[in-house]
Structures are given as structure tokens and as C-alpha cells.
Amino acid sequence: MKVYFDNAATSPVAPEVFEEMIPFLRDHFGNPNSQHSHGRENRSAIEKARKLVAQKLGAQTNEIFFTSGGTESDNTAILGAVKAFGLKHIITSPLEHHAVLHTVEHLAKEGLVTLHLLKVDQQGNIDFTHLEELLEAHGAESLVTLMHGNNEIGNLLDLEAVGELAHQYGARFHTDAVQTVGHYPFNLSETKVDFLAASAHKFNGPKGIGILYVAKENKIGPFIHGGGQERGMRGGTENVASIVGMAKALEIAHDRMEADIAHGKSIKSYLKESLEAKLNEVQFNGRSGDLEASLYGVLNVSLPSSKDAGMLLFSLDLKGISASGGSACSSGALTGSHVLTGIKADENRPSVRFSFGRYNTKEEVDYVVEQLLAIL
């Protein structure tokens, strides 16, 4: 039996999405920036997709830009905001995805900004008092960048609360929503988010295509310069088939969101209860064990085992089980999870992140638990 429990890394392309993309891979090959009919039909497809994405996110069409994925969207928003608004301070957490952390660390190393890392507790919750203190001190010269759903421990951020607080002090707010767009409802017109990043392959769309939302009152420049595509925001010929596929994936995700959330929660709770029943010392990192406070598709499990995380994952792989994980960095370790280190997880216990989606079943959970117990 083969089980794919690594949907937070990437999810399988939905069959309907694949079918939607085929004509744009085979028949509609024109450059969308060409003025002839072959180009115009692809330009029309892109703008139709943009309108659909905007509708599903509660945004205006001119606030949506297409990129190569979440990393590029994060980089464009952060670097663009710092340059356009002369920002001198970035407020973030030590638990962010490297697409954000490495970008802000680079800016700080170049002397362009001062980097402030928020305090977090052992469950991965940010310290709102510390956030307000930093905003009070640095206000309108600040960019707050905090992810909506943590890709490792699943913690969900209150976007409305952070956005309200940031805007109260004149700061701008960027969120990496790569793990949540396509899984949770958004109405960006009513949320105080200035910039948002998303990626299609996290919601059963193709890899290599993403979304950048820029609220209309924020005018920033491009990260990739070139021919002025995407209304001057991103150079490079558009990836038409993937744009069309992403819009279809987002449409499907919204049409079946209620069912997908219910299914994901049932799989997660079943896995959690099965592990708790059969392993006395199992722990759940961050808030991933809380169905209401974390991503419905992520359960990060800290296991009582002498095996290191790498060997544990290798053993699971030999049994046909795909998952990911890591351990907290010990003082002598060269590698490890910065997220688990940030929440002071037990460095002597290996952790596995099981992440699941609409195609997973409880039968797969039974197999995973059986094999995990045999390995341990």
C-alpha cells in the first residue's frame, strides 16, 4: 500500500484541473502578449482566470497578479514594500517559512532594515503584547509579515486582529497564506491585509504558479523586470496553462470547501485519536492537535523513539508512506527544524508531520498507524 501524507509540501493535481489545462498545453499556444488571434485567445483566458481568482478571494481584479509561486510572491511583496514606502523595520516571527525569513534576513544583512523577531510561546503563539510594543515604537516605518497557517505545526493566525493592530499604528501587513488559500474562505476587501501570497500546488493545482495580492492603495514595483507583463508587475511570458489550471483548482476548492474541511478534520481527528490510543507518550507540536486552532490538514507528531527523524522518515518510506518532519536543533546539530527549535520542542524526540487532503482515507490512517507502531 502506498500512502501520501505530505500534502502540505505539495498536493496532487485534481483531474478536473488537468483536463482544463490540456488545451492550453496542446492547442492554444500563442503568446498572450501578441496582438494576433492566437495571442488574444490566451490573453482572454488569463484575464478570465484573474477575474475568477479575485472573486474567490474577495478582491478586485486589478489587485491580483500571477507569479511563479509563493516564494516569488513573498519576495515581491516584502522587497517591493520596503523600497516603495521607505520602510526601515520588519516585524516577523522566528517560525516563518524560509521564503520570508531568508528574505528579511537578507535585507537586514544588507543594512536596509532592522529586523525584529516576535516572542513566541511553546505552542507557537505569537506575543501580541510584544507586537504592539514594536508597532508603537516603529509604526509607519514597519512591515509586519506573519504567515496565516504555519506549514510545520499548523497554527492559524488571526489575520483580522493582526491587520487591525498593524494599521492602527500605520504599518503595512503582509501574510504568507500559502497553506490556507484554497482551504479557508477569504474576503480580502474586508480584511486589513496589504499583501498576500498563495501557491496553486497547495490546493490541488499545478506547481510553478502562484498568486500575489496587492491591496489597491499599495503601489509597489516589480521583483522581476522584463517586458512589463502583469501590468508592469512581473516580467516574463505568462504561464497560461498553469494560470488557467490554478483558477480551476481554486474554483473547485471553493465549491467543495465545506466538504473538504469536514473530511480533513475527520481524517485528522481519527489519526490523532488512533495515535493517542496506541502510544502512551505521543505529543502534538504547536497547536496542531487542536482541530479549531490549526490547519485541518496538518498534524505534527512528536514521538517517543530513539530513532532520529531522518531514519524514521526513511523507515516509513520503505513501507510506502510519504510524510515529512524533523527535530529541534540541538547545540551541536547542523540541521533541524527552525520551527520546532523556535517552540523549544524536545530535541531528543523525532517529529513527523502528517498532512492530508481531499483524497486521503481512514483506511490509509489505519495502515500508517500500524506501520508506525511496528517501526517504533
C-beta separation of 191 from 59 below 8 A: no
d(CA 229, CA 216): 18
Active site residues: 329
Q: How far is the CA of 188 from the CAs of 54, 71, 158, 192, 215, in angstroms?
A: 9, 20, 14, 7, 8
Grid coordinates standing for 326? 524533523
Helices (H) and strands (E) in the chain, counts: 11, 13
Instruction: Report how far apart the first and last C-alpha atoms of the chain are (Å, whole number).
Output: 19
Task: List, edge to edge, every strand of the sheet that includes 142-145.
Answer: 64-67, 210-214, 195-199, 172-176, 142-145, 89-92, 114-117
d(CA 171, CA 164): 10
Grid coordinates standing for 286? 504547536
